[in-house]
Amino acid sequence: MSSLLDMLQQHKIVAILRGIEPQHAAATAKAIIDGGVRLLEVTMNTDGATSIIHSWRSSFGDGEARIGAGTVLDIDMAKEAVAAGAQFIISPNLDEDVIRYGIEQGVPVWPGCMTPTEIVRAWKAGAEAVKVFPMGTLGWKYLAEIRAPLDRIPMLATGGVDLDNIGDYFRAGACAVGMGGKLVNLDWVRAGEYERVTERVRQFVDAVAKL
């Protein structure tokens, strides 16, 4: 088990930043970390994603947090992410080449899967955990059903998580959750209301701590 998987299972929330502007990135990361989330992901379809990853890694990526790349669709994007300093890779899809590349580089890959077949394929390819997606459509009951036979495979539930249902996802067997706009409101970021971002993040961290 990698130290990143340990951290994922300990801290239980991955902050997903999609579409954040580079000029807001540093202050936003600080606000998220101040709220208690330690795993931060920038999606590769964000303008300037590799620059943000590099910047965050330089500022926060050793002691305070771990910095990852999201929406990594193929091996070329994985190479870009690792070159920028990504410490973990998350995808919406399953690509065994990306998993193998991550293993070679010592960078955990948590691929996106929906079906039991995909989940087992990912695990056999070397993924220590899988991202079950899209949970906003599938719902936590789906997670509970597939966890029954696949309980040895750590699952990161992404999509549809909010304060009123986050407990359901963990009770259904998620080892962690990935959260985007429900966790980090980019309107607040653009308005410079970083204390609101921190408070919102803290609410989710506190909710998870009570489970």
Cβ neighbours of residue 190 under 8 Å, at least 6 residues apart? 21, 24
| Three-point CA angle 160, 19, 84, nearest 5° | 110
| 41 in active site | yes
Q: Where does residue 15 fall: left (phi above 0), alpha (psi -120 to 50 degrees), or beta otherwise? A: beta
Quick count: other Cβ atoms within 10 Å of Cβ 210? 6
Which candidate in 41, 96, 104, 118 is catalytic? 41
Count helices and strands in the chain by DSSP H and E runs = 11, 9
Question: DSSP character for 55?
Answer: H
Question: DSSP character for 90?
Answer: E
Which candidate in 12, 30, 128, 131 is catalytic? 131
Cα dist. 120→27, 70, 97, 154 in Å?
Answer: 39, 21, 16, 11
- Indicate if the alpha-carbon torsion angle 30, 164, 160, 117 is positive or negative: positive
Mind telling me the catalytic residues? 41, 131
